[in-house]
Structure 1
Amino acid sequence: MSGLANVLMIVAVVAVVVVRQFRARAIDTDRRWWLLPVILAVVALREPGILDAHHRAGSAVLLAVEVLIGLATGAGWAWTTGIWTAPDGVVWSKSTKASVVVWLVGIALRVGVFAVGAAFGVHQDSSALMLGLAVTLLVRAGVLAWRARSVGSASRPAPAYGDDMRSAWKERV
């Protein structure tokens, strides 16, 4: 994929994910919460320009820092997300204002990494940013699924209408 296509994919994924996370959503720990981050990581890792050919060590260090920032941002985002259990037993989540701060700090750190790379003449491809985003999403989804399991039984389906009502007496025919 070209750099422009990577940037457009990153912007689209971030927009969709951020908008969805600031609405209350039921957490389903049975679904494949890891699928989108894994797809992003595979797309990022198959790009040949993820490491600068002229500065392999420097670009590898910057990539490692990008991944560490992704880990920290994902964990911070997951731990600042509000989680609660509804009366029907379904676990819900919604990002908070602290989650916005985590995102802003993560973005600032990533800009700093790219600035350091540019100052040393290390070319950084957009696939490094995509890999960092994939790590962020994977860690956040994993921590939220773990928190949801510890808070309540999110894997249990919601009760059907009338499940909490008294049982009726059998009628004799």
Structure 2
Amino acid sequence: MSGLVNALLILAVAAWVIARQLRAARVDTDRRWWLLPGILAVVALREPDLLDPHHHTAAAALLGAELLVGAAMGLGWARTTRVWTEPDGSVWSKGTKATVAVWVLGIGLRVALFALGAAAGIHQDSAALLLALAATLLIRSGIVTRRARQLAPAAGAAGPVAAYGDGVVGSTPKERV
């Protein structure tokens, strides 16, 4: 796939994710939460220019740093996501202001890594960014799904289960997705 197509794919996925993260959404613990990150990883790994052949070691170190930033971003995003149960037993999640801070910090670190690689003369393709985005989504989705499963009431249980973020003043508008 060309660099332009990858860049457009990255922008589309990032815009979709950012737009959805600050809205309340019902968490479906039965869905395949790993599918989108898996597809993004496969697309990224199919790229022949994932590592610069002229700077193999430095490019691998830069890719490792990019993956660490992606993993940290996914963990931070998951930890700053509010997860709660409704009286009907459904589990919901919504990003917080801290989630926005995680995204801003993560994007800033990625820009700094790109600038570092460019200053070192390392050819960087969008595949590394796509792979890091896949890591971010995989970690965030896995953690939020696990938290939602822990909050979901057991079959036959009466009433809602206490949720992370219970006791927060103010209501959160819900949107069905």
Q: What is the TM-score with the length of structure 1 in the denominator?
A: 0.87
Aligned counterpart, 1:25: 25
Contact 1:89/1:154 (8 A) holds in 2: no
Change (3 A) 1:155 1:125: farther
Aligned counterpart, 2:73: 73
* C-alpha displacement of 1:152: 2.4
* Structure 2 unpaired stretches of 5+: 157-177
In the alignment, the residues of structure 2 paired with residue 36 and residue 118 of structure 1 have an alpha-carbon distance, to the nearest angstrom, of: 29
Aligned AA (1:24): A
Aligned counterpart, 1:64: 64
* C-alpha displacement of 1:153: 3.7
Aligned counterpart, 2:159: none
Structure 1 segment 102-121 matched on structure 2, within 5 A: 102-121=102-121
Aligned counterpart, 2:164: none
Aligned counterpart, 2:137: 137
Contact 1:29/1:155 (8 A) holds in 2: no
Aligned counterpart, 1:169: none
Question: What is the SS of the residue equivalent to 1:94?
Answer: strand
Structure 1 segment 1-173 matched on structure 2, within 5 A: 1-153=1-153
Aligned AA (2:76): G
RMSD, aligned CA: 1.5
Change (3 A) 1:128 1:87: same
In the alignment, the residues of structure 1 paired with residue 15 and residue 108 of structure 2 have an alpha-carbon distance, to the nearest angstrom, of: 17
Q: 1:58-114 CA deviation, whole Å, 9 max, x = no partner?
A: 000000010010100000001101111000111100001100000000000001111
* C-alpha displacement of 1:150: 1.8
In the alignment, the residues of structure 2 paired with residue 130 and residue 3 of structure 1 have an alpha-carbon distance, to the nearest angstrom, of: 11
Aligned counterpart, 1:160: none
In the alignment, the residues of structure 2 paired with residue 4 and residue 155 of structure 1 have an alpha-carbon distance, to the nearest angstrom, of: 49
In the alignment, the residues of structure 1 paired with residue 9 and residue 72 of structure 2 have an alpha-carbon distance, to the nearest angstrom, of: 22
